[in-house]
Structure 1
Amino acid sequence: MQILGIFFGSVIVAVAFNFFLIPHEILSSGLTGVSMIIGMLTPMNTGVANFLLNFPLLVLGYLKLGRKFILYTILSVTVISIGLYFVPIVKVAQDIILSSIFGGALTGIGIGLIFRSSGSSGGLDVIGMLIARKRDFPIGTMLTAMNGVIILISGFLFNWDSALYTMVSIFVTGKVVDAVYTHHEKLTLMIITEKGDEMREHLLQNVYRGVTVLDGMGGYSNQKRNILMTVISRYELGEVKSLVSKVDPTAFVNITETVEVMGLFHKPHA
């Protein structure tokens, strides 16, 4: 299901670009926006530029963010790049305002699906997640600041009307992504399982958070169980749920929103 979510989300992003944004010279956020600029100003296809720009970040993400996350991101970047290459550029709507709003919303839906499936669309998303894990800043805020550069480039290279429409598109994309998935919230997970040691090891290897293990006992069965408690950011939830199901499909997991976290939130370095 996660692979399907990433695939369909990536196709939606490619369609949004080629049907609504690129025909009106409206840029998207991040490195994809840079790819659009390259595609508009040079003979290079936008999809090829997108893949080449993302490749170094994918290598960095593989080293810092974990194998599963980055493999899903590679899948997303590949599908988006292929989609940009093969999907024809068609001006579906003549009205540039409608195109910027609808294109931004469609892009947000696609990226939201990708995030929900434990991946990312590459580019500044990878950089944002790296910084967020180190500094605990909201991803949306950081990406907005980074995307400000894209808006300025759009204004200087094309015209300031295009820059403003790009701003509208990026704003709408961010709001839709937040609505679909990526609110910067903390979640507390209580995982009750009979495979405590295996679960603890698996979580520590794949999630950039600490884990507390408690001893427990089933009230009805009187069988010993482990209770694992961890606090994660909301964007990590999809990956953690997948990890828990992989180790113990019968584990009981209680997920609650966390108002505030004090003390060490990140996993201590060895």
Structure 2
Amino acid sequence: MQFLGIIFGSFIVAVAFNLFLIPHETMSSGLSGVSMIIGILTPLNTGIANFLLNLPLLVIGYLKLGRRFICNTILSVLVVSLGLYFIPVIEIAHDIILSSIFGGAITGFGIGVILRCSGSSGGFDIISMLLARKMDFPIGTMLSAMNAIVILISGFLFDWDSALYTMVSIFVTGKVVDAIYTHHVKLTLMIITEKGEEMRQHLLDNVYRGLTVLDGIGGYSNQKRNVLMTVITRYQLGEVKNLITEVDPAAFVNITETVEVIGLFHKTTQ
């Protein structure tokens, strides 16, 4: 179901780009916006540009971030790139304001679906996650700064009306993504298992999160067990539950909603 969700969300993003944003030279956020600029100014197709810009980031992300997350992201980038290549660029709405709003909303819906399926549309998401591992800096602030660059480029290369419409599109996209993808909700998991080392390695290999391993003893059985504690975002819950079951179907898992996280939540521990 995750793969189908990622394919569906990615196709929706490509539709929004080619039918609403690109015909009016309104950019999207992230590397997709840079791909649009390249596609408008050069003979290179937007889909090919999107794939080529994301390719080195996907390779680096596969080596540095969770493998399952990056594999889902690779699928998303491929579908978006193919959609941009094959879907014809048609001006559905003649009003640029309506196109910016609806294009941004449809893009946000598609990205929200991708994120809920444990993936991303690539580009700046991967860059910000990699930078967050090296610097104590919020990912949201990094994304805003990088998107501001897209807006400035749009203004200088086209006109400042296009830049402002791009800002409207990005703003609407962000609002819709936040409504669909509740990434701000954090969950604390306490995993009690007899396969502590195997569980630890499996989670670290597949989830972009750190965890803490504690020693425990069963109160009834008096047998030694490991207690793994980690904080994840709500959209990762389905993926993490599947990973836990793959290692130890009998593991006891306590899931609680977290009010606040203090510290380097976006960094993984080695």
Correspondence for 1:254: 254
Correspondence for 2:123: 123
Say which is worse superposed, 203-212 or 260-269, in terms of deviation: 260-269
In structure 2, give the amino acid aligned to 1:100: S
Question: What is the rounded CA distance, in whole Å, between the counterparts of 1:252 and 1:112 in structure 2?
Answer: 30
The Cα shift of 1:91 comes to: 1.2
1:63-74 aligned at under 5 Å gives the runs 63-74=63-74
Correspondence for 2:16: 16
Kindly tell me: are residues 44 and 190 of structure 1, through their superposed partners in 2, closer, same or farther at Cα, counting changes over 3 Å? same
Question: What is the rounded CA distance, in whole Å, between the counterparts of 2:238 and 2:142 in structure 1?
Answer: 21
**In 2, are the aligned partners of 1:140 and 1:174 still within 8 Å (CA)?**
no
Correspondence for 2:212: 211
Taking structure 1 as the reference length, the TM-score comes to: 0.88
Correspondence for 1:47: 47
**Root-mean-square deviation (CA), in Å?**
2.4
**Identity %, equivalent residues:** 73
Question: What is the rounded CA distance, in whole Å, between the counterparts of 1:218 and 1:10 in structure 2?
Answer: 48
Question: What is the rounded CA distance, in whole Å, between the counterparts of 2:268 and 2:59 in structure 1?
Answer: 22
Correspondence for 2:166: 166
Kindly tell me: are residues 245 and 131 of structure 1, through their superposed partners in 2, closer, same or farther at Cα, counting changes over 3 Å? farther
Correspondence for 2:36: 36
**Deviation by residue 1:196-231 (Cα, 9 ceiling, x = unmatched):** 342223123334402233425487xx5856542212
Correspondence for 2:202: 202
Taking structure 2 as the reference length, the TM-score comes to: 0.88
Kindly tell me: are residues 192 and 121 of structure 1, through their superposed partners in 2, closer, same or farther at Cα, counting changes over 3 Å? same
Kindly tell me: are residues 242 and 126 of structure 1, through their superposed partners in 2, closer, same or farther at Cα, counting changes over 3 Å? farther
Q: Which runs of 5+ in 2 are unaligned?
A: none
The Cα shift of 1:139 comes to: 2.9
Question: What is the rounded CA distance, in whole Å, between the counterparts of 2:253 and 2:68 in structure 1?
Answer: 22
- How many matched pairs? 267
**In 2, are the aligned partners of 1:211 and 1:228 still within 8 Å (CA)?**
yes
Residue 214 of structure 2 aligns to a residue whose secondary structure is strand
Kindly tell me: are residues 181 and 139 of structure 1, through their superposed partners in 2, closer, same or farther at Cα, counting changes over 3 Å? farther
**In 2, are the aligned partners of 1:115 and 1:182 still within 8 Å (CA)?**
no
In structure 1, give the amino acid aligned to 2:175: K
Question: What is the rounded CA distance, in whole Å, between the counterparts of 1:96 and 1:251 in structure 2?
Answer: 54
**In 2, are the aligned partners of 1:216 and 1:227 still within 8 Å (CA)?**
no
Kindly tell me: are residues 120 and 262 of structure 1, through their superposed partners in 2, closer, same or farther at Cα, counting changes over 3 Å? closer
Kindly tell me: are residues 60 and 267 of structure 1, through their superposed partners in 2, closer, same or farther at Cα, counting changes over 3 Å? closer
In structure 2, give the amino acid aligned to 1:213: L
1:54-65 aligned at under 5 Å gives the runs 54-65=54-65
**In 1, are the aligned partners of 2:211 and 2:230 still within 8 Å (CA)?**
yes
Correspondence for 1:100: 100
Question: What is the rounded CA distance, in whole Å, between the counterparts of 1:86 and 1:263 in structure 2?
Answer: 45
**In 2, are the aligned partners of 1:116 and 1:238 still within 8 Å (CA)?**
no
**In 2, are the aligned partners of 1:112 and 1:177 still within 8 Å (CA)?**
yes
The Cα shift of 1:89 comes to: 1.1
Kindly tell me: are residues 132 and 259 of structure 1, through their superposed partners in 2, closer, same or farther at Cα, counting changes over 3 Å? farther
**In 2, are the aligned partners of 1:118 and 1:239 still within 8 Å (CA)?**
yes
Question: What is the rounded CA distance, in whole Å, between the counterparts of 1:187 and 1:175 in structure 2?
Answer: 22
**In 2, are the aligned partners of 1:199 and 1:244 still within 8 Å (CA)?**
yes
**Deviation by residue 1:79-104 (Cα, 9 ceiling, x = unmatched):** 00000011111111122111111111
Given the alignment of the two structures, is residue 145 of structure 1 paired with residue 145 of structure 2, yes or no? yes
Question: What is the rounded CA distance, in whole Å, between the counterparts of 2:263 and 2:49 in structure 1?
Answer: 43
The Cα shift of 1:267 comes to: 4.3
Q: Which runs of 5+ in 1 are unaligned?
A: none
Kindly tell me: are residues 13 and 77 of structure 1, through their superposed partners in 2, closer, same or farther at Cα, counting changes over 3 Å? same
Kindly tell me: are residues 264 and 73 of structure 1, through their superposed partners in 2, closer, same or farther at Cα, counting changes over 3 Å? closer
Kindly tell me: are residues 131 and 242 of structure 1, through their superposed partners in 2, closer, same or farther at Cα, counting changes over 3 Å? farther
